[in-house]
Amino acid sequence: METTQGRPARLRIGVIGPGRVGSVLGRALGLAGHRVVAAAAVSEASKARVADRLPTARLMEPARVVEASDLVLLTVPDDALAELAEGLAATGADLRGTLLAHASGAHGYGVLAPATAAGALPLALHPAMTFTGRDEDVARLADCAFGVTAPDPLRPIAEALVVEMGAEPVWIAEDRRTLYHAALAGGANHLVTLVADSAALLSAAGVPEPGRMLAPLLSASLDNALRLGIHGLSGPVLRGDAGTVAGHIGQLRAHAPESVAAYVELARLTADLAINAGMLKPEDAEPLLDVLRR
């Protein structure tokens, strides 16, 4: 694939699976000067997104999208990617020289192997961002990083496409892709769970507006964690306050037993990280660890 002044030549873009992510990436590539020419959509919601966000695209069957495009975004659910790659190869569509890019965090380019064997050029471009389906999603790409994985000869093209969308490419090795995704999913998804659980516990404690109370505390904690890592930690685990932690567990057993296991495991992990960082002396941690073992 030739490039122009360090960037990919203007490409014909196709989108298979124009959901929240596919429609945003297609729109961003269109704004970068590429032309979205085709889309394969099944649901009425996806067809509406094509009409709204990708108005230059014609609705086609997946094999025809490939034939009409230089770059095809395969923005389908993670578990459907392998089957889609096999299906595209089985259609007999000419895949030679066509860039196929998926947006799954959990997969590298290996999941596209059947299409690659037929001559396609595989890319994994995962935006580390949540998408709401609203117009602001495109603007949010400016603050977003993409996990980029591709065969070495295609790395410049993959990274250039991300830059053109206004985002930052971060290279992820093929064999570290699942670990990368586990880190993102664990941080983002479990953060929501922890905040929702904290808000529910505050409500049970009689706090009328839990979100208002939590916002400054959690915002400061997130800022500290992002800047300082584990050295941004504070609280009873760091202090080795076994009695306080035992009291927490007792109250959780009484009022929110479903939260006990998570609290104990997270407290153990917090203690381990603090000990390893030299922030909590092992001898000071022993009473706390005894409470957590029980």
Residue 258: pLDDT over 90: yes
Hey, what CATH topology would domain 3-172 get? Rossmann fold (3.40.50)
What whole-number distance in Å separates Cα of residue 281 and Cα of residue 25? 49
List, for residues 200-246, the tens digit of each pLDDT value. Answer: 999 999 999 999 999 999 999 999 999 999 999 999 999 999 999 99
Neighbours of 90 (CB within 10 A): 12
Domain ranges of the chain: 3-172, 180-293
Neighbours of 209 (CB within 10 A): 11
Mean pLDDT of the chain: 94
Residue indicated by tokens 């995962």: 126
Is 85 buried (19+), middle (13-18) or exposed (0-12) by CB count in 10 A? buried
**The pLDDT value given to residue 7:** 59
Structure confidence at residue 8 as a pLDDT band (50, 70, 90): low
113 Cβ contact list (under 8 Å, min separation 6): 85, 122
- Please give the share of the chain, as a percent, with pLDDT higher than 70: 97
**The pLDDT value given to residue 198:** 97
List, for residues 169-183, the tens digit of each pLDDT value. Answer: 999 999 999 999 999
What Rg, from alpha-carbon coordinates, does the chain have?
24
Residue 18: closest CA among 70, 69, 57, 64: 57
What whole-number distance in Å separates Cα of residue 252 and Cα of residue 232? 25
Residue indicated by tokens 């002044």: 5
Residue 23: pLDDT over 60: yes
What whole-number distance in Å separates Cα of residue 143 and Cα of residue 171? 17
Virtual torsion, Cα 59, 65, 71, 74, nearest 10 deg: 80
Neighbours of 241 (CB within 10 A): 17
